[in-house]
Amino acid sequence: MSSEAQIAAVDLFCGVGGLTHGLTKAGIDVRLGVDLDPACRYPMEQNNAARFLEADVSKLCASDILAAFGDARVTLMAGCAPCQPFSSYSQPARREKRHADWELLNSFSSLVLSVRPTFVTMENVPPLRRQEIFGQFVAALKEAGYYVDFAVVDGRDIGLPQRRQRLVLVASILGPIKLPKVGKPKVTVRDTIANLPPIPAGKADATDPLHVSASLSAMNLKRIRHSKPGGTWRDWPKDLIAPCHTRDTGTTYPSVYGRMEWDEPAPTMTTQCYGFGNGRFGHPEQDRAISLREAAMLQSFPKDYAFVPPNEPINFSTLGRLIGNAVPVLLGEYIGSVLIEHLKAYGH
């Protein structure tokens, strides 16, 4: 049996399956995905071989994880807890408070220490590494006999067509493990979405319901027509500039109402990435915001990744949240390859 086939994994906080899909592409057998959000069931199970369990991770027992592992000799627990409490997009006062979601990292830590898998991985936003709770998590792993490494990975370095930085941790019971630095060629917006059919604002492609863009008001349609790729709202005629941007407090937000650039990576995909006014989410040349499919592809999901059952209505808010919060598939593949190479190095 090859080393790739020997790693059985459980993906906690699995979302729509970005991490699972990437780990699977690397050769890891993801057997179970767990998430509290029922909207994650269809994409997780439709695109991956893993079973989906709708459950609160804080209420899981070690036996739930062990049952999924079965008789596997080499095991992996992955846990990407919700990042909102740590995110730089959160308000400072909220970041300083101990948020209820923070406890999910403690729940994950408790499960790891009870199950003692061969490998552990997690990813989150970079500010988490400065929080006491993360230091406690790392210390607990080391005390339990794990070798640990963590680093901030720039998505552009692993071929992600997006400016996205994530804190990645890997831990191994086998021996010292290291996250290698990589420097793949830059992948651009053009490389990723240029071949999709053009669509107008508020419309969907006839062959792909997810290739749909949000409607634009008459004012925002005028604004995007005056927007330059890589430019800002300062490029507009004065009568199109929003009152909030004319105040001193608004001058520090030049990237809202912006177009992407064809030959650069996209900005970080957020849960609001389908809205023209929510960031630099305007299409490089079409007069609309990027579609949900384009957002998913910029998150490195395959073009045919299914997010909703056939004929089900497209809900921008729900799908924007699921896509924006997803672990990019390429990041999952990078993590999986690190673990597989580590396993080979130790003779398994």
Span 10-30, average pLDDT: 97
Per-residue pLDDT at 95: 44
Please report which confidence band the pLDDT of residue 233 belongs to, taking 50, 70 and 90 as the band edges. confident
Spatial neighbors of 347 by CB under 8 A, at least 6 apart, are none
* Residues identified as active-site: 83
The 10s digit of each residue's pLDDT in 164-208 is 999 999 999 999 999 999 989 999 999 999 999 999 999 999 999
Span 228-235, average pLDDT: 84
Task: Report the mean per-residue pLDDT for the chain.
Answer: 90
* Lowest-pLDDT range of 148-152, 202-206, 221-225: 221-225
How far is the C-alpha of 236 from the C-alpha of 251, rounded, in Å? 14
pLDDT at 234 over 70: yes
Look at the block and give the residue holding tokens 């790693």: 7
- Tell me which amino acid residue 20 is: T
Please report which confidence band the pLDDT of residue 3 belongs to, taking 50, 70 and 90 as the band edges. very low
The 10s digit of each residue's pLDDT in 104-148 is 888 999 999 999 999 999 999 999 999 999 999 999 999 999 999
Per-residue pLDDT at 240: 85
Per-residue pLDDT at 257: 83
Per-residue pLDDT at 251: 52
Per-residue pLDDT at 51: 97
Distance of CA 319 to the CA centre of its chain: 13
What is the number of other CB atoms lying within 10 angstroms of the CB of residue 140?
Answer: 16
Per-residue pLDDT at 249: 53
324, 272 Cβ separation under 8 angstroms: yes
- Tell me which amino acid residue 206 is: A
pLDDT at 85 over 70: no
Spatial neighbors of 230 by CB under 8 A, at least 6 apart, are 258, 259, 260, 261, 264
214, 286 Cβ separation under 8 angstroms: no
The 10s digit of each residue's pLDDT in 272-330 is 999 998 889 999 999 999 999 999 999 999 999 999 999 999 999 999 999 999 999 99
Per-residue pLDDT at 248: 56
How far is the C-alpha of 147 from the C-alpha of 196, rounded, in Å? 44
Per-residue pLDDT at 22: 98
**At 292, phi and psi to the nearest 5?**
-65, -40
How far is the C-alpha of 136 from the C-alpha of 115, rounded, in Å? 18
**At 8, phi and psi to the nearest 5?**
-100, 135
Please report which confidence band the pLDDT of residue 250 belongs to, taking 50, 70 and 90 as the band edges. very low
Span 233-255, average pLDDT: 69
Look at the block and give the residue holding tokens 């089900």: 312
Please report which confidence band the pLDDT of residue 102 belongs to, taking 50, 70 and 90 as the band edges. low
pLDDT at 264 over 50: yes
The 10s digit of each residue's pLDDT in 53-78 is 999 999 999 999 999 999 999 999 99
